[in-house]
Amino acid sequence: MATSAVTPLSSVTPLTFTGTSQYASSFQSVLTRAVGIASIPLQQLQNQDQTVLSEETQLATLQGTAASLTTAVQALGNLGANQAISATSSNPANVTVTATGASSPASYTINSITSLASAASETSLTGYADSASTPVSTTGSMSLVIGSQTIPITLTSSTNNLEGLENAINATGAGVTATILTTGNGNYLSVSAENQGATTLQLINDPTGADTNILTSTNQGSDAVFTLNNLPVTRTSNTVNDLIPGATLTLQAPTTSATTLTLASDPTQLTSGLQTLVSAYNAAVSQINGQAGSTTGVLSGDSIVYQLEGDMQQLSTYQGSGEIKSLADLGITFNSDGTMSFDPTVIGGFSSSQLAGAFQFLGSETTGLGAISQALDQVSDSATGAIATEQTTLQQDDAGLQTQIANSEASINSMQKTLFQQLSQADTLISSLDSQQTILTASIQSLDYTLYGTDTGTNSSSSS
C-alpha cells in the first residue's frame, strides 16, 4: 500500500506502529495516511491563525508609524500656535528665562536684582552635653513657630532631650527639618525651613510662662526682590513663573546692571519640526507601499490602509490662505515614489513676514495643517483608534482559532490512538493465523511423508 503524501502536523504526535505480521508496514501506512487526512482541516486552521498573527504584527508596526506621523503633525500645530517662541537672556549669569507657552514675541528688562530668595535656618543658642539625656525644656512644653503657624510640642520625661525634640519637630510636617549638629563645644539643634522666603522661625520654651526662644535669629530667610521694566517685584522663590505669561524666570545672582529677556520666534524649531514630519511621512509611505502592488502584504485591501492613505493625501495637498500656501513653500517637495524631501535652507531664508505666514499655515492642533493630526489620531490612537479596534478583533479571532486548533488536535490524537489499537488487534490476529497456517502446513507435510513417503504437495507442484 502506497504511503500518502499528506504529512501529519508537528502539533499531532505521530505514533509508530511496531506490528509483527506480514502486513505491519501496510498498517503503518494506513495509520499515517489517516492522520494526514484528518490533519488537513487542522492545517487550514493553523494557516488562518498564522495570517491573523501576521496581520496583528503588521498592524502594530503600522500603528507605531502612524502615531509618529500624528505626533509630528501635532508638534507642527503647536509650533504654529506658539509661533515657535524661544527665550533668551542677555546675562544668564544673573537671570535665565525659559519659554513655557508664550505665544507672541516680546522683550522685558530686569533692571536690578536686590536679593535672592533663601530659606530660613537657625540653630539652638546653646549646646547640650548629651543629645539623649540633657533636658532642653524647663517644663516639657514648647512651641514651633514657622511663619503664621504656631505648633505645640510636648516632651515627656523620656523625650525631653535633643533627640526627642528633633523627632517631635520632624513629625509635625510643618515644612521644617530638624537635625543635631555635634561640635567640640556640645550638641546643637539646627532647624531649617524647606521653602525659600522671608519668614519667622522660632522654637519657644515654656510658651505660657518664660516664653523663651531657644533659637538664633540670624537667618530668617529672604525674599527675591527685583525690578521688571522698572516695576518692583517680590517673590518667595528664585523661580518665578507667574510674572511673564508663558515664561519662567530663574534668578541667579544679585545685580545692579540691566538684563534683557527676549521672547522671539525660533526658525530652527520650525526646521526641526518639518524634518521630523518628512521622516515620519516617508516611514508611513514605506509601510503602505509594502501592503500593495507587487509586494502585496497581509493588510492589502484593509480599510485602515486606505484610511491612513487618505489622511496622508490630505496632508500632502493641504492649502493655506496666507503668504505660505503649501508645503512646497516651506521647502518640502514630493519624489516620484511618493516620499517627501526637505530643503532646510528655505526656512533659513525666510523674512519675518514669511515666518509669521508659516506659523499661520501650520495653525494649531485644531486649525490649519495641524488639524489633520485629529484625523490621523482616529487611526493611530493606541486606545481608541481604528488600528487598536482592529487589533482587538484580531486578538479575539486568534483566541477562537486557538481553541479550535486545540480541539482539532485532541480529536486527531484520539482518533490516532483508537485506530492504532484497532490495527494492533488486527496485526495480532493475522500473526496468530500465520502461525496456525505454518503449523497446519507442517502437519500436512508430515502426514504425506508418513502415508506416501513423499511430500505430495511438492510432487504436485513439480508435476505441474
Q: Which domains does the chain have, with CATH numbers?
A: 67-82+267-382 (no CATH), 85-116+224-265 (no CATH), 119-213 (2.60.40)
For residues 136 and 451, what is the distance between their CA atoms, to the nearest angstrom?
135
Q: Please, are residues 176 and 147 in contact by the beta-carbon 8 Å criterion?
A: no
pLDDT at 149 over 50: yes
For residues 419 and 427, what is the distance between their CA atoms, to the nearest angstrom?
12
pLDDT given for residue 1 in this prediction: 33
pLDDT at 453 over 90: no
Residue with the bigger pLDDT between 455 and 353: it is 353
Sheet with 186-196: list strands edge to edge.
119-123, 186-196, 176-183
Q: Mean per-residue pLDDT for 421-435?
A: 88
> Which residues does residue 334 pair with via DSSP β-bridges, in sequence order?
340
pLDDT at 167 over 60: yes
For residues 44 and 278, what is the distance between their CA atoms, to the nearest angstrom?
42
3-state secondary structure of 249: strand
Q: Kindly report, residue by residue over 198-207, the tens digit of the pLDDT.
A: 999 999 999 9
Roughly how many angstroms between the first and final C-alpha of the chain, as a whole number?
A: 32
pLDDT at 212 over 80: yes
Average pLDDT, the chain: 91
pLDDT given for residue 407 in this prediction: 93
For residues 283 and 277, what is the distance between their CA atoms, to the nearest angstrom?
10
pLDDT at 464 over 50: no
Q: Mean per-residue pLDDT for 126-155?
A: 96
Predicted confidence band of residue 101 (pLDDT cuts 50, 70, 90): confident
pLDDT at 352 over 80: yes
Predicted confidence band of residue 296 (pLDDT cuts 50, 70, 90): confident
pLDDT given for residue 448 in this prediction: 75
Sheet with 141-146: list strands edge to edge.
149-154, 141-146, 201-205, 212-213
> Which residues does residue 233 pair with via DSSP β-bridges, in sequence order?
226
For residues 44 and 34, what is the distance between their CA atoms, to the nearest angstrom?
17
Q: Kindly report, residue by residue over 34-67, the tens digit of the pLDDT.
A: 999 999 999 999 999 998 998 899 999 999 999 9
- Report the percent of the chain where pLDDT is more than 90: 78
For residues 60 and 298, what is the distance between their CA atoms, to the nearest angstrom?
13
pLDDT given for residue 455 in this prediction: 62
For the chain, what is the radius of gyration of the CA atoms?
Answer: 45
